[in-house]
Structure 1
Amino acid sequence: MKTAEIKRRYLAHFEANGHAVVPSAPLPAISDPNLLFVNAGMVQFVPYFLGQQTPPYPRAVSVQKCIRTPDIDEVGKTSRHGTFFQMNGNFSFGDYFKAGAIPLAWDLVTRSVAEGGFGLDPERVWATVYLDDDEAAEIWRSVGMPAERIVRRGKKDNFWSMGIPGPAGPCSELYYDRGPDYGREGGPEVDEDRYLEFWNLVFMQYEIADVTSKEDFRIVGELPKKNIDTGMGLERMASILQGVDNLYEIDEVRPILARAAELTGKRYGAHSGHVAAQSHPDDVRLRVIADHVRTALMLIGDGVTPSNEGRGYVLRRIMRRAIRAVRLLGWQERALPELLPVARDCMAPSYPELATEFDRIAQYAYAEEDAFLATLRAGTTILDTAIAETKSAGKPALSGDKAFQLHDTYGFPIDLTLEIAAEQGLAVDADGFRRLMADQRARAKADARARKTGHTDLSAYRSVLDAGGPVEFTGYTELNRESRVRAVLSGGDQVGAAVEGDTVELVLDTTPFYAEGGGQQPDQGLITVGGGQVEVFDVQQPVPGLIVHRARVVRGEVRAGENGYAEIDVTRRRAISRSHTATHLVHQTMRNFLGESATQAGSLNAPGRLRFDFNTPTGVAPSVAPRGAAGQRGAP
């Protein structure tokens, strides 16, 4: 069964059972400060699980594009790890719980292919449950799972969270017995290569905090409602239904691997067994290439571009690992022009935009490979010099400092440093290199912790929103209006009043003040309430539907419940509007000179000035700037 057909059947099954079909969110986790990328199907639904927003449907189903990189070094070595994957998920927001989720899963898994199911042999399916989850175990028995194939496991295996503060709960996982060719008998606790996990049913009922590991966290309390969050690995199910050994051999990945093998003259699988742990190093590298090229395609397709920080750095690292693996297998020419079109053809049936956007995607990918090949050439020259100096000094090993400099400054892979040094009869101070890398990671983690905000406490804002409903924005049709002060907040709490000198947040029933968003600066102005007056210096929307005015009381007293008069700074608004218009003109001019691949990456529209951020896969020629400026002066 093709991967696209598995996806179609999954969505159809749950849609027929009252679930709303929700499109995949983009891979960059824009709305969650804790994540670079969406790493699970439930990420876009977190506000519903936490009770921060009211879900527009009681049940949902999606196939979510995901990226996970913590296990990147395991890619190719196991049958389970991939950086990009697709997660089939069905969700209940306080609607059904265990008694609904388990029968729905069992029905789809064991129903015949002719009747729209996946047709797995029920005698080869196992389930795990959390240690004390008697309810889930009993439901599995009621649908036909014998007690001897229901295994109880602890927090490490059967308590799920995103690894960050937020929703969590015990879970129940489904495994498929692939037979004795894949390992020892005895169930998932004995061998997870033979018994392949393919579906995780999470009974989402707790909110957790102080997360330090998968097993070390604090349960804050019960969620507002008991929810269901399930995740079926699409690639894992495809490997089962297509009868292949691992996710690298399914129909959406194998053609990339085959093309890489053809380029490098390798014969995939010639020296490996069924179990991934028995794989020849060449096969591991071919899998890395296939996985990483597909991942790069999907990331660039969703707007990520190579850079030295954040999401762009992850993409750059993935691409360079793929390019490096190809070279280690003997191919010394440009590889991505040979491999990326194959990945496109594999994935476009499910994601047609990859075909229509391929020229843009290819420009970024090919430019990155060219830059990395130049890096390799420069790094090799510096390494040759360092090797000569080490030999002339009579030392047996290249210093860890030099290896780290090559890696950190030039992006030169440590494994390449080790290989070239060994060819010259030298060792490398790998311990010194690892120590410097560990120091760098520790600094990066400390910085990340300092910037990490987690799921901010928005309870005061939600309380105001729940009590009075969404704030009506009228600023497109008027610049001032009368309105009641619904709430006055200070320090995250509602207060009855504020006096001269206080800095507070005001919520009105209706407002002409524009809240910051889309790169456009917020309005400023005055709100007069009785004998008091506040000067608004910022306007935000901390939760959808609630416009909050951040202001200083400049005269008298302001009380909640009183009527007021709101008026924006018209001169500032018009200046921002001119900057906003100019941003669109700049964007169009850039596309005129640089082509459709010049995409907007951000902007700032402020009075009298603007900033326009854009991505382009190649350097901007010096002649473009004056020509672009001339184009702007000639614009209507």
Structure 2
Amino acid sequence: MKTAEIAQRYLDYFEKKGHTIVPSASLVTDDPALLFTVAGMVPFIPYLSGDVPPPYPRAADVQKCIRTNDIEEVGKTPRHGTFFQMLGNWSFGDYFKDGAIAFAWDFLTGAESEGGLGFDPKDLWVTVYEEDDEARELWLKHSTLPDERIQRLGKDTNYWSTGLPGPAGPCSEIFFDRGPAYGIDGGPATDDDRYVEIWNLVFMQYEIADVRSKYDFTIVGELPNKNIDTGMGLERVAFIKQGVDNMYETDQVRPVLDKAVELSRKTYGADHEDDVRFRVIADHVRSSLMLLSDGVTPSNDGRGYILRRLMRRAIRSMRLLGVDGPSFAELFAASRDAMKEAYPIVETDYARLSQYALAEEATFLRTLAAGSELLDESVALTKTTGGAQLSGAQAFLLHDTYGFPIDLTLEIVEEAGLTVDRGAFDTLMQEQRERAKADARSRKGQLADTSVYRDFRAQGETVFTGYTELETGSRVLGILVGGASVDRATQGQIAEVILAETALYAESGGQVADKGVIVGPGYELEVLDVQKPVPGLVSHTVEVTTGEVAVGEAATTVVDAANRRAAQQAHSATHLVHAALRDTLGRSATQAGSLNRAGYLRFDFSWGQALSSETRTEIEEIANNAVRDNLEVTTRIMSLDEAKAAGAMALFGEKYGETVRMVDIGGPWSRELCAGTHVGSSAEVGLINLIGESSVGASNRRVEALVGQDAFRELAAERAIVSQLTSSLKTPRDQLATRVAELAASLKAAEKRIAQFEARALADRLPQLVSAAVSAGPVQVVAEALGAAASADDVRSLALQVRDRLGADTASVVALGAVVGERPVVIVATSEPARAAGAKAGVFAKTAAAALGGGGGGRDDVAQGGGTDAAALPMALEAIRTAAGGL
């Protein structure tokens, strides 16, 4: 039974049982405590917590998930995968334990011919929370399980909570027994791999508080609406139903594994270590493909870092299998073909997805080449000094700074006959993990408790009238001060105000929040920010500038019309720039992020190289031609499927409901799903002036533009500069660029001649400096100030010449100070006899730097120090004389 068929059977079954079928949410979640959707429940948290009224009493879905906390286990166990799919059925105050248990047993053991999965009851075990007698009795009622195959377990396995105050409850897990060939008898209580958990039923029935740990808390009472949250692992069910040993051999994953086998020319099943690598590749390539399809791109932080790590682990595993060259073209294509039935976007958008994958592979292969050179140097140095072990710090540097995997370091070092100080490396790695955990704890600790908005959201969604109105009368539903609900806010206080209706736009879709005021009887509030703390609810952060505002009072939102107009110009201009980019570069240049505020836009898009000045001009011209043509801007409300069928662009990372707003500019030329505010026709944008283009990642570029009056002011300022230059240089405007280039070339030539004169002047001082040598302790010391110098390299060259002129047999310390670019520099050079007497250039350089207010160091034979206090040069040189005399 194919994976996609299992998923469809599940949805069909629960649809017949009255469940609303909900499409999978994105892998990218807007929960600030999470990077990804890590569990099937994440999209439903607002409904389960009661913060947002559920739109349906019961639902079912197949949710995409990414979880990397067990990444080291991937490939080693039959069930650990970084990308997985959770089959879930949900009840929001509707059915409870009885219904959930009955549904689960019926679907699992129902005949395949009738839409079930056809599991043999003799292969199934169940666990319940040790104190949940009700769940145990219901299993005996609805199933044919004997008493001994319903095991009671403790809180650590069979009780669900988030570890925070809020909903919690016992759970019941269903396991499949793979048979005695896979482990010991005794059921799930043995915690043996023989028993594979396939389904978890969470009975969310209690409210907890005083949370001391995930399993230590106080139950304060039952929830008013008891919820059901279930999750069945699709990959786990698939490998059981397909008769294979693990999830990596299922139909959605195995093709990538087979392609890796083909490319490596090795045999799967012949070597345990190689088998783990094959499975890692299969899992990580699929996970990377799915993350890319949801708009994540490789980077050095956040979600992008996780994606980059997955890709690089796959490349590393291919290398350890003997494949040193590119392989992603074949591997990602294999994953595309395996996943396209379930997720058609991986095929329809494959050109864009593969562009990121191939660019990341090429970058990392270059990194590996550079890391190999550094490692070779470190190995050679270790051997030269008679060492047998590469330091853990050097191995960690290669790993952390250059992205060079530790197992490759171990492999190469072992081939050279050396070892790595793995203990020191592991210590450094652990310290890094602790820092990362501390950062995650800090981020989690900063989360706001959204339950404070629950009662307000229960009164309905905030109605946004700002598409057609700039003033809207309403009433105050609630006031928050310091995160707590209060009945009023007084003059001078900062508060959050919740209204039933508002004309003020809440920040979303790249468009910043409106500016404006809220006024009512005897009070005025300056609006500082407008946000949506929970879906469907708008909160206004305000300062009470006059009077006091109380819950229940009338309120009128007044939008700053000039700011809104300029923001609308910028947002519509963003759509025009996007369309112009796609006209110029092709359909693969899709939006990766944007920011629109009054008079300014920033637009990120997928593209792997810098735009030429000619291309930038073309994009700017196309966008401004659209402004000139006064294209009609229209908006329509329709279903998501209708909008996609009409060719509307759905932007990655954005979350859409079943009903969406489609914005057209010039009909299908620019057609996007967008909830932002826009001008009535393109001519109202006024002017678009592209002011910058830069890189924001290996495969992402950014353009910035000024819009409307701000664009005009920028061009007027540039015109004034050009006018001033033409007047000063007495050159016509069309010849100005040539004239400036000539002047720049003349200046560069003059600077070069001056530098030559200065270097010659320094060299002319060589005899005088040699004759200035004086005895200090066991060495001859030259410590002189040179005045100004063109570069530190000139000073270094002169110091080495003085040392050489004094003779190789002379114990000499040469310290020359100079001012380079207004900053003091001291170069110290020592001869071999001086070093034998204890004179180390690096130590002297640090001594001088301390006097100069800076830092320094270097090798024993030559070193450099510097600082900020040029007037202290004589003192710094005297400190070197004193130190040399004390040797």
Give the shorter-chain TM-score range.
over 0.9
Task: Work out the CA distance in 2 between the residues paired with 1:210 and 1:461.
Answer: 21
Distance 1:523 1:105, change over 3 A: same
Per the TM alignment, residue 611 of structure 1 is displaced from its structure 2 partner at its CA by 2.0
Q: Deviations over 1:286-319 (max 9, x none)?
A: 1111111111111111111111111111111111
Per the TM alignment, residue 556 of structure 1 is displaced from its structure 2 partner at its CA by 3.3
Partner residue in 1 for 2:570: 579
Partner residue in 2 for 1:542: 533
- Matched letter for residue 610 of structure 1: L
Task: Work out the CA distance in 2 between the residues paired with 1:141 and 1:241.
Answer: 25
Per the TM alignment, residue 631 of structure 1 is displaced from its structure 2 partner at its CA by 4.2
Distance 1:82 1:165, change over 3 A: farther
Farther-moved stretch of structure 1 (602-611 vs 362-371): 602-611
Distance 1:483 1:111, change over 3 A: closer
1:85 equivalent to 2:55? Answer: no
Task: Work out the CA distance in 1 between the residues paired with 2:212 and 2:405.
Answer: 30
Q: Deviations over 1:213-258 (max 9, x none)?
A: 7645665654442211111111111111111111111111112111
1:56-67 pair list within 5 angstroms: 56-67=55-66
Asked whether the equivalents of residues 298 and 305 of structure 2 are also in contact (C-alpha less than 8 Å), the reply is yes
Distance 1:137 1:481, change over 3 A: closer
Distance 1:119 1:396, change over 3 A: same
Per the TM alignment, residue 108 of structure 1 is displaced from its structure 2 partner at its CA by 1.2
1:301 equivalent to 2:293? Answer: yes
Partner residue in 1 for 2:132: 133
- Matched letter for residue 378 of structure 1: A
Q: Deviations over 1:74-94 (max 9, x none)?
A: 111111111111111111111
Per the TM alignment, residue 377 of structure 1 is displaced from its structure 2 partner at its CA by 0.3
Task: Work out the CA distance in 1 between the residues paired with 2:538 and 2:483.
Answer: 15
Partner residue in 2 for 1:357: 349
Distance 1:548 1:418, change over 3 A: same
1:276-287 pair list within 5 angstroms: 280-287=272-279
Distance 1:173 1:495, change over 3 A: closer
Asked whether the equivalents of residues 404 and 437 of structure 1 are also in contact (C-alpha less than 8 Å), the reply is yes
Asked whether the equivalents of residues 34 and 164 of structure 1 are also in contact (C-alpha less than 8 Å), the reply is no
Per the TM alignment, residue 548 of structure 1 is displaced from its structure 2 partner at its CA by 2.8
Partner residue in 1 for 2:610: 620
Farther-moved stretch of structure 1 (622-631 vs 568-577): 622-631
SS at 2:466 equivalent: coil
Asked whether the equivalents of residues 49 and 225 of structure 1 are also in contact (C-alpha less than 8 Å), the reply is no
Farther-moved stretch of structure 1 (213-222 vs 432-441): 213-222
Q: Deviations over 1:33-60 (max 9, x none)?
A: 2211112111111111111111111111
Partner residue in 2 for 1:426: 418
1:553 equivalent to 2:544? Answer: yes
Distance 1:614 1:163, change over 3 A: farther
Distance 1:620 1:176, change over 3 A: same
Partner residue in 1 for 2:322: 330
Distance 1:207 1:437, change over 3 A: farther
Task: Work out the CA distance in 1 between the residues paired with 2:487 and 2:196.
Answer: 59
SS at 2:188 equivalent: coil
Partner residue in 1 for 2:636: none
Task: Work out the CA distance in 2 between the residues paired with 1:253 and 1:484.
Answer: 55
Asked whether the equivalents of residues 503 and 551 of structure 1 are also in contact (C-alpha less than 8 Å), the reply is yes
Partner residue in 2 for 1:197: 197
Asked whether the equivalents of residues 76 and 285 of structure 1 are also in contact (C-alpha less than 8 Å), the reply is yes
Partner residue in 2 for 1:605: 596
Asked whether the equivalents of residues 165 and 455 of structure 1 are also in contact (C-alpha less than 8 Å), the reply is no
Q: Which of the pair has the greater relative contact order for Cα pairs under 8 Å at 6+ separation?
A: 1
Partner residue in 1 for 2:12: 12
Asked whether the equivalents of residues 202 and 230 of structure 1 are also in contact (C-alpha less than 8 Å), the reply is yes
Per the TM alignment, residue 486 of structure 1 is displaced from its structure 2 partner at its CA by 4.1
Partner residue in 1 for 2:437: 445
Asked whether the equivalents of residues 49 and 223 of structure 1 are also in contact (C-alpha less than 8 Å), the reply is no
Asked whether the equivalents of residues 46 and 534 of structure 2 are also in contact (C-alpha less than 8 Å), the reply is no
Distance 1:507 1:234, change over 3 A: closer
Partner residue in 1 for 2:170: 170
TM-score w.r.t. the length of structure 2 is 0.67
1:476 equivalent to 2:467? Answer: yes
Unaligned runs of 5+ in 2: 628-887
Farther-moved stretch of structure 1 (336-345 vs 622-631): 622-631
Partner residue in 1 for 2:521: 530
Partner residue in 2 for 1:105: 104
Distance 1:207 1:564, change over 3 A: closer
1:136-147 pair list within 5 angstroms: 136-142=135-141, 143-147=143-147
Q: Deviations over 1:381-434 (max 9, x none)?
A: 111111111111222211122111111111000111111111111111212212
SS at 2:269 equivalent: coil
Task: Work out the CA distance in 1 between the residues paired with 2:527 and 2:375.
Answer: 59
Asked whether the equivalents of residues 516 and 539 of structure 1 are also in contact (C-alpha less than 8 Å), the reply is yes
**Residue of 392, 399, 407 corresponding to 2:399:** 407
SS at 1:410 equivalent: coil
Distance 1:206 1:195, change over 3 A: same
Asked whether the equivalents of residues 53 and 457 of structure 2 are also in contact (C-alpha less than 8 Å), the reply is no
SS at 1:603 equivalent: strand
- Matched letter for residue 544 of structure 1: P
Partner residue in 1 for 2:771: none
1:310-325 pair list within 5 angstroms: 310-325=302-317
Asked whether the equivalents of residues 83 and 295 of structure 1 are also in contact (C-alpha less than 8 Å), the reply is yes
Unaligned runs of 5+ in 1: 272-279
Farther-moved stretch of structure 1 (548-557 vs 331-340): 548-557
**Corresponding pairs, count:** 625
Task: Work out the CA distance in 2 between the residues paired with 1:407 and 1:227.
Answer: 46
